[in-house]
Structure 1
Amino acid sequence: MKKRNNNVGPQVRNRGRTTGQGATKALLAALMLFFFAAGFVGATQTFAHLMAYQATLGPNWNHVYAPWRIVQWFTHWQKVPSLAPYFTKSMGVGMLIAGGGILVTAIVKIAKSKKGKGNEFLHGSARWADINDIRAASLIENDGVYVGAFEEKNGKVTYLRHAGPEHVLTYAPTRSGKGVGLVIPTLLSWMHSAVIADLKGELWALTAGWRKNHAGQIVMRFEPASSRGSVRWNPLDEIRIGTDNEVADVQNLATLIVDPDGKGLESHWQKTSQALFVGVILHAIYKAKNGGPAATMSAVDGLLTDPARPIKGLWEEMMSYGHLPGGKNHTVVGRAARDMMDRPEEEAGSVLSTAKSYIELYRDPVVAANTSTSDFSIRDLMNHDTPVSLYIITQPTDKDRLRPLVRIMLNMMVRILAPKQEFENGRAKASYKHRMLFMIDEFPSLGKLEIIQGSLAFAAGYGLKFYLICQDINQLRSRETGYGHDELITSNCHVQNAYPPNRLETAEHLSKMTGQTTILKEQVTTSKNAGGGLFSGSTSKTIQETQRALLTADECLRMPGPRKNASGDIEEAGDMLLYITGYPMVYGKQPLYFKDPTFLARAQVAAPDKSDIIRKAKPGSVTARNDDDDEAAAPIRVKL
C-alpha cells in the first residue's frame, strides 16, 4: 500500500509536530523495542531459574536480574558442557518472546495500513494554534503592542504582544471593548514615540499621565477645535522652502486640501483649485520669508477673500512680486496667477469659489489660532532626544469638520518620516532615534489615505508601525468611504485580530482566514428483520473523513463577547481571534486593562492640564521653515 502523502499545506515544513502517520511509526518502533527488550528479560530470568538463583549469578533484586546478564553469563560459561542445555532453553524462551512481539507488531502495522485514507489532511489541515505556536510567533515576553490574550488549558491567561515591525489590523465593532483591551494596554506600555487618534480625549486622560511622568516622554495634545491646552501646528511650516522639494511639498499639500475624502481629483474644479492653491501657498510663504505676515492656512484664505482688494489685485501681485533673490518672480506663483487671469470670468469665479470652500475651516478663530504657528515639527516626533507622544483629539461634534486637517497631518507625517532610504555596510541605515507607533482608531472614517495604504509595504523600514482599527471589513472596503474591494491594507498587515463581529461579511472573511480542516464523520445505520424478535436487528457504523471550516461564519457570529452590566460597563472579557502570517489562527481572550493591577495603577496617573511643547516661537520670526532651521530653533522641553 502506498505511503500517506501528508506533505500538504504547512505540514511540508512540520515544526516538530507528530502527525497521524508519524505517530504510527513511533508506535511500531516502540513495540519492536519493547519486545526486543522483553526477549532479553525472558532469557535472563529463565536461565536464573534453571540455575536455582545461585549466588554465583551475581547481584539481583528479589531474584530479578538485569536483562543483559544473559549475555555476560554466556560469555563466561559457554564452554561448560553442563550448562549448554540451560543456555539453549533460556535463549529459546527469549527468541520466542521476541518473535511473538515481531508478529504482534506486524499485525498492528497491517491494521493501521488498512485504516483511513492515504492522506489524513485530504480535506484541509487547518487547526487552532497552541502555546508552542504562540511562542514560535514570538508573542510572549516582549515589549511590543498588545494584540490579545491566550487562555491555556490550566486556565492561565497570557498576554500576547507583537514587537516586530509588521503592522496590525483590528476588526472590532463599536462598544466591543477594543479600547480597554488593546489600545489602552498598548499605550500604557509602549516606550517609543506614538501618534494617537483620540476621539473625545479619553486616551489622553487615561494614558498621557503615565507616558509623561513614568515613561519619560514629551506628551502633546493637538485639539484644533479647543481654545485650552492644545499644542499648535502649522502645516505650512513643514514645506521645505528654498529647496528643490518646495514645489512637490506644496503640490502634495494642495492635493490634500482639495481632496478631503481621498477620492482623488475627479472634477475639473478640483484640479484647477489645486493648481491655484499651489501658487497662492507659495506666494504666502515667500511673503512671510521676506518679512510679511505669517504664512498660515488662515492667511491663505485671507488672500483669497480679502474684502479690501479685488481678486484681480492678488493675481497682479503674484505675477509681479519678487519672491526670489534679486527681485525675481517665482515661476510657479506667476503662472498660477496668469492661469486665473486668462480664464473666462465665469470659470475663474467658479474656480475661486471652489477653492474658498475647501479652506473655510480656517475661518474658525480657534482653529486658526491652533494652526498659526508650530510648537513642534513632524521630524521631532522620531528625532527628538526623548520619545514624543502626540494625541490628535477631535470631539465627536467636530470630527467631520476637522477631518481635512487631520488627514493633512497624517499624510505629511508619513511623507516626512519615511524619507529616502540610506544604506551602510550592505544594510538599511536607521535615520531616526525612536520608533513610531501610529494608533489610529476608526481608521476608515478618515477617508481614503492613499499615502498610508501605499506606504504600509515599506514604512516598517523607517521605524513606522501602524495599528489600524476598523469596525468591520465592510467599512474598510467601502467604495464610497473606504479603500474599495481591491484594498491593500489587509495584504500589508501581517497581524490581524478580531473581536466578535456583528456583520456576516466580516464573519465570512474571518472564517476563510481560519481555513478548512479534516474531521471524522460517524454514521450509524440500524436495521431490523421483518417479524423478528427483540434482538433480530443489526447495527452498522461507518466513519468517513469530511471537510468543514475550522470556524464557520455563524460560529464566528456566536463567539462570546464581553459580559456587561446594566450600565454597559464590561465586567468579563469575551473571546477574540488573532492571526499571524505563517501560523495557525489563535482563539484567544480579550485583555482588560482594569483587571490588571499594574495597568489600573498606570491609568490612574493624572494627565497633564496642558500640552508639552518642543519649540518656542521666536519674537518676530517667520513660520516658513527651511531645512537648516533645526539649529536656530533648538528643541526644548517645557515643564508644565
Structure 2
Amino acid sequence: MKDKFNNAVGPQVRAPKPKADKIIPALGVMSLVAGLQSATQFFAHDFQYQAVLGPHLNHVYAPWSILGWVGTWYGQYPDAIMRAGGIGMTVSAAGLLGLAVTKMVLANSAKLNPYLHGSARWANVTDIEASGLLPRPRSFWQMLTGKALPTSAGVYVGAWLDKQGKQRYLRHNGPEHVLCYAPTRSGKGVGLVMPTLLSWGESAVITDLKGELWSLTAGWRKQHAHNKVLRFEPASATGSVCWNPLDEIRTGTENEVGDVQNLATLIVDPDGKGLESHWQKTGQALLVGVILHALYKARNEGTAATLPAVDALLADPDRDIAELWMEMRTYGHIGGENHPAVGSAARDMMDRPDEEAGSVLSTAKSYLALYRDPIVARNISRSEFHIRDLMHHDQPVSLYIVTQPNDKARLRSLVRIMVNMIVRLLADKMDFKDGRQVAHYKHRLLLMLDEFPSLGKLEILQESLAFVAGYGIKCYLICQDINQLKSRETGYGHDESITSNCHVQTAYPPNRVETAEHLSKLTGQTTVAKEQVTTSGRRTSALLGQVSRTIQEVQRPLLTPDECLRMPGAIKNASGDIDEAGDMVVYVAGYPAIYGKQPLYFKDPVFQARAAIPAPQNSDKLLHVHAVPAAEAITI
C-alpha cells in the first residue's frame, strides 16, 4: 500500500501524529459484554440467586458465568437458558445497532480542515517561550535540584497580556537583529528604546535626536551599569567628547589607500545615493590624494591631521592652488619618496584643463564646508576615544550620537562616517578554537539606530547585517514605516535586504496602507469556518418548509490590512502625552505572530526610578588618545 500523499506544513508537521481510533472497537466489545452480563443476571434471577450458581457479589455475577452454566444446566433447564440467551442477544444487538448508526452518522458528517487554506494563528504562551521572548518555566528536575528560575535579559521588543490579564515583557537576547516599524509620536521611545537602554548592561551606540535619551538613561548606565558614557554632539560648544576620523586610518600600511578611499566616498556621498556624477567621482579621487598627503605631512611634522586641515589645504587664501599640486607631486612622504597615490592625484589635477580642474576642486571643497564651522572643527580636531574602545575597553562604553533637529541635515555626513567606521572597525576578525568561534571582544555592542533611513543609504550597514552578529554586534533598527525603508530616493530600495536579516520584527499601529499590507502578509493566512443557513417556505407560515445548514472552509488573512490600520494605538491626553498603551504585533521568524501590548517605561516603578537618575554634566573621556598603532588599526 502506498504512503498517503504528504503535503503537511507548519503546525501539521510539528503536531504529533494522530493515533488510530480505538473507541469504536471498544464500544463493540462493551456491547457484547453487556449482552453476556444481561443473560447471566436474567438466568440467576430465574434461579433466585441460589448458592449452586457459584460465588457472587451482592447478586452480581461475572459476565462469562452464563457460558459455564450452559454446559452445566442446559440439559435440565433448556427453556431458562434460551430465555436468558434471548435477553443477552437482544441487548448486544441493540448496542451493536446503535454503534453502527453512530458510525454511519460520523462517516456522513462533514469534517472541517483547519489547515485547508492556511494555518496562521496568534501565538500562545508555549510559542512565545519557544521563541525565546519569555523565559521557559523550570523543569521538574530543576525544581528538585533547587535551580533558580530563569531570568529575562536582552532588548525589549514589546509586551504581552496572559490569560490572567498580567502584562509580561517580551525580551530578545540572541545575536539576531531587531527591526521596528513605528510612526512618529507613536510611543516607540517610551515603549522600546527607553526600557532597553535602562536595562542593557553591555556597550551601546545610540542615535539620539535632541539629547533626550542621554538625559534619561546616561545616569543609570554610568552609575549602575558601570558604563563609560560618551556624548558626541559635534555642533555643541560644550560637553561633547572629541573624535577625529583620521585617527582611525592605518597610515603606513598597505591598507591605507583603501581606508582613505572609503572615507572620501562617504564625504562626497552624504545621502548614500552613490557616486552618480563625474564631479563626484573626480572629487572623491582628489580627496583621497589630499587626505593621504595631509596624514603623512602631519606625521612628519609632528602635528595632527584633521578634516578641517584638509579643507585648509584646498582653500588656503595665501597661496595658489597650483603650489599644492606641486607640493603633493614632489613631497617625500615615505622615506623621502613621493607617495604614488598622492602623486597620481596631483598629476591628474595638473593635467586637467583649467575649467575642469576648477570644477573638480570646487566640488571637493563643497563637501568639506561643514568642517569650517569652528565648533565642529574643534570637536573633531582630536580623539578622546577610539572606535575599538566600544567593545575592547575595560568597561562597557555607551556612545550617544546627539544631533539637534536644526543640525541634523548638515551633520548627516559626519554621522554616516562614524556609523560606517563602527561597523567596519569592529567586524574585523573572527577566531576559532576546537571547531568553535572564540569571542575576541570584551563586551557585546548594541547599535540602537532610531529612524536609521534618515541617515541615507548606508551600504555597509545593509551588507553587514548578515555577518556582524558573529562579531558580537546586535542591531536594533527603527523606522517610521515600510515606505521610508524601501524609498528609492532616501532609503534602501525595493530590493533591500534589511528585513531579510532581522530575526525579530515589531510593529506599532501603522499610518500607511503599504505598511499594513506588509504586516498582514507577515501574519499569514488562516482558515475559518463559514456557516450558511438556507430556509424555504412562506414567511407567514407557522413553520418553515425546510432549513438547511452548510459549513464551508474559507480563507482570510489572520490580520487584514484594514484591521492592522485600526489597531488601537496609544491613548494620549490633551497635551499629547501618552496615558495608556496601545496594541502592537511582534513577529519572530519561524513562530506564530504575537498580538501584544506596548510597554511604557513610566508605568513601571523600576524604570521610572532608573530614568530619574540625573545624567552627567559632561561626557566621559577615555584618556588613551594616542594614535592607533599601525598593527592594531582596522580598515574603515
Cα 1:295–1:516 shift into 2, 3 Å: same
Cα 1:433–1:174 shift into 2, 3 Å: same
Q: CA deviation at 1:403?
A: 0.6
Query: Does the 8 A contact of 2:112 with 2:529 survive in 1?
Result: no
Q: 1:469 aligns with which of 478, 494, 510?
A: 478
Query: Deviations along 1:450-505, whole A, 9 cap, x unmatched?
Result: 10001111111111111110000111111111111111111111211100001011
For residue 290 of structure 1, give the secondary structure of its aligned residue in structure 2: helix
Query: Does the 8 A contact of 2:508 with 2:569 survive in 1?
Result: yes
The aligned residue for residue 14 of structure 2 is: 14
In the TM superposition, what are the counterparts of 1:548-587 in structure 2 within 5 Å? 548-587=556-595
Q: Determine whether 1:497 maps to 2:491.
A: no
| Residue identity in the other structure for 1:554 | D
Query: Does the 8 A contact of 1:6 with 1:119 survive in 2?
Result: no
The aligned residue for residue 134 of structure 1 is: 128
Q: CA deviation at 1:34?
A: 7.1
- Partners of 1:137 and 1:109 in 2: how far apart? 42
Q: CA deviation at 1:506?
A: 0.6
- Partners of 1:91 and 1:367 in 2: how far apart? 108
| Residue identity in the other structure for 2:120 | A
Q: Determine whether 1:318 maps to 2:328.
A: yes
The aligned residue for residue 637 of structure 1 is: none
For residue 495 of structure 1, give the secondary structure of its aligned residue in structure 2: strand
- Partners of 1:90 and 1:279 in 2: how far apart? 114
The aligned residue for residue 145 of structure 2 is: none
Q: Determine whether 1:429 maps to 2:423.
A: no
| Residue identity in the other structure for 1:140 | L
The aligned residue for residue 148 of structure 2 is: none
The aligned residue for residue 631 of structure 2 is: 627
Q: CA deviation at 1:328?
A: 1.2
- Partners of 2:402 and 2:89 in 1: how far apart? 83
Q: CA deviation at 1:114?
A: 3.5
- Partners of 2:315 and 2:59 in 1: how far apart? 108
Q: 1:378 aligns with which of 387, 405, 416?
A: 387
The aligned residue for residue 634 of structure 1 is: none
Tell me whether 215-224 or 105-114 shows the greater mean CA deviation.
105-114
Q: CA deviation at 1:80?
A: 11
Query: Does the 8 A contact of 2:35 with 2:92 survive in 1?
Result: no
| Residue identity in the other structure for 1:147 | V
- Partners of 2:280 and 2:259 in 1: how far apart? 18
For residue 614 of structure 2, give the secondary structure of its aligned residue in structure 1: coil
- Partners of 1:598 and 1:263 in 2: how far apart? 44
Q: Determine whether 1:280 maps to 2:284.
A: no
Cα 1:42–1:210 shift into 2, 3 Å: farther
- Partners of 2:34 and 2:157 in 1: how far apart? 56
Query: Deviations along 1:280-313, whole A, 9 cap, x unmatched?
Result: 1111111121134311111111111111121111
Calculate the TM-score normalised by the size of structure 2: 0.87
Query: Does the 8 A contact of 1:576 with 1:587 survive in 2?
Result: yes
The aligned residue for residue 427 of structure 2 is: 418
Q: CA deviation at 1:45?
A: 10
For residue 383 of structure 2, give the secondary structure of its aligned residue in structure 1: coil
The aligned residue for residue 258 of structure 2 is: 248
The aligned residue for residue 533 of structure 1 is: 541
- Partners of 1:5 and 1:564 in 2: how far apart? 55
Q: CA deviation at 1:239?
A: 0.6
Aligned-CA RMSD value: 3.5
Query: Does the 8 A contact of 2:179 with 2:504 survive in 1?
Result: yes
For residue 288 of structure 2, give the secondary structure of its aligned residue in structure 1: helix
Q: Determine whether 1:334 maps to 2:338.
A: no
- Partners of 1:492 and 1:322 in 2: how far apart? 47
Query: Does the 8 A contact of 1:438 with 1:465 survive in 2?
Result: yes
The aligned residue for residue 214 of structure 1 is: 224
Cα 1:546–1:222 shift into 2, 3 Å: same
For residue 367 of structure 1, give the secondary structure of its aligned residue in structure 2: helix
In the TM superposition, what are the counterparts of 1:5-404 in structure 2 within 5 Å? 7-16=7-16, 22=18, 28-29=21-22, 70=62, 107-116=101-110, 119-141=113-135, 142-325=152-335, 327-404=336-413
- Partners of 1:92 and 1:236 in 2: how far apart? 106
Query: Does the 8 A contact of 2:209 with 2:403 survive in 1?
Result: yes
Query: Does the 8 A contact of 1:169 with 1:495 survive in 2?
Result: yes
For residue 494 of structure 1, give the secondary structure of its aligned residue in structure 2: strand
Query: Does the 8 A contact of 1:241 with 1:624 survive in 2?
Result: no
Cα 1:538–1:247 shift into 2, 3 Å: same
Query: Does the 8 A contact of 1:435 with 1:464 survive in 2?
Result: yes
Query: Does the 8 A contact of 2:535 with 2:544 survive in 1?
Result: no
Tell me whether 354-363 or 111-120 shows the greater mean CA deviation.
111-120
Query: Does the 8 A contact of 1:320 with 1:329 survive in 2?
Result: yes
| Residue identity in the other structure for 1:627 | A
- Partners of 2:4 and 2:558 in 1: how far apart? 23
Q: CA deviation at 1:389?
A: 1.0
Cα 1:132–1:299 shift into 2, 3 Å: same
Cα 1:43–1:609 shift into 2, 3 Å: farther
Cα 1:101–1:506 shift into 2, 3 Å: farther
| Residue identity in the other structure for 1:8 | A
Q: CA deviation at 1:95?
A: 9.6
- Partners of 2:384 and 2:345 in 1: how far apart? 31
The aligned residue for residue 138 of structure 2 is: none
- Partners of 2:423 and 2:97 in 1: how far apart? 71
Q: CA deviation at 1:174?
A: 0.4
For residue 133 of structure 1, give the secondary structure of its aligned residue in structure 2: helix
Query: Deviations along 1:410-451, whole A, 9 cap, x unmatched?
Result: 011111111133332223332212111101001110000010
- Partners of 2:457 and 2:11 in 1: how far apart? 39
- Partners of 2:288 and 2:88 in 1: how far apart? 97
The aligned residue for residue 623 of structure 2 is: 615
Query: Deviations along 1:380-416, whole A, 9 cap, x unmatched?
Result: 1111122111111111111111110000000111111
- Partners of 1:380 and 1:91 in 2: how far apart? 95
| Residue identity in the other structure for 2:419 | L
Cα 1:538–1:217 shift into 2, 3 Å: same
Query: Deviations along 1:561-593, whole A, 9 cap, x unmatched?
Result: 011111111111111011111111111111111
For residue 401 of structure 1, give the secondary structure of its aligned residue in structure 2: coil
For residue 175 of structure 2, give the secondary structure of its aligned residue in structure 1: coil
Structure 2: give runs of 5+ residues left out of the alignment. Answer: 136-151
Question: Percent identity over the alignment?
Answer: 62
Structure 1: give runs of 5+ residues left out of the alignment. Answer: 631-640
Q: CA deviation at 1:558?
A: 0.4
The aligned residue for residue 611 of structure 2 is: 603
Tell me whether 516-525 or 411-420 shows the greater mean CA deviation.
516-525
Query: Deviations along 1:84-117, whole A, 9 cap, x unmatched?
Result: 9999999999998888767656555544443446
For residue 539 of structure 1, give the secondary structure of its aligned residue in structure 2: strand
For residue 318 of structure 2, give the secondary structure of its aligned residue in structure 1: coil
Query: Deviations along 1:66-94, whole A, 9 cap, x unmatched?
Result: xxx959x97xx999958999999999999
Cα 1:9–1:369 shift into 2, 3 Å: same
Q: CA deviation at 1:541?
A: 2.4
- Partners of 2:163 and 2:83 in 1: how far apart? 53
For residue 252 of structure 1, give the secondary structure of its aligned residue in structure 2: helix
| Residue identity in the other structure for 1:411 | N
Tell me whether 292-301 or 423-432 shows the greater mean CA deviation.
423-432
| Residue identity in the other structure for 1:491 | S
The aligned residue for residue 140 of structure 2 is: none
